[in-house]
Amino acid sequence: MNTSCETWSPLERPAAWGLRKEANLKLSLETRNRGNVLIVHCQGRIVYRDEANAFSRLVADLMRHARNVIIDFSGVTSMDSAGIGELVLLHTKAQADGARLKCARPSPFVHNLLDLTNLNSVLDIHPSLEEAFESFSEDEVCADC
């Protein structure tokens, strides 16, 4: 298994993601691949309207091209009901499409929010990127049981 991290060059990203047009976002989304896993690093807020939509659109598009996605919430400072709703929709879409969506390193704010909404019992949440990454291998072994 290749464990090196690579950053996607902007030319490899489909123009349909349209994140360049949304320069006023208070959310930065960076994607990287590590072997057959795509990692989305989130920095800022995932709140109603533009930020929640950009987050959802990017992750949904990634899941069309990759079956394994990790969302890194370590840089998320704020998330409201729209952000939570988009996360639940992405989780549901991943299950329906046979993709595997995992969450990693939730910031204290996000961790508390996932606890309060009981989503910590529904979503696959890991305290580190490494543990989230390794859990994909564990899933493959258990699928053969």
pTM for this entry: 0.80
Output the CA–CA distances (angstroms, integers) from residue 99 to 10, 41, 125, 137, in the order listed: 24, 18, 15, 14
Beta-bridged to residue 55, according to DSSP, are: none
Domain 18-143 fold is: Transcription Regulator spoIIAA (3.30.750)
Q: How far is it, in rounded angstroms, from Cα 32 to Cα 125?
A: 19
**Model pLDDT for residues 54-110, shown as the tens digit of each residue:** 999 999 999 998 999 999 999 999 999 999 999 999 999 999 999 999 999 999 999
Domain boundaries, the chain: 18-143
Q: How far is it, in rounded angstroms, from Cα 131 to Cα 121?
A: 17
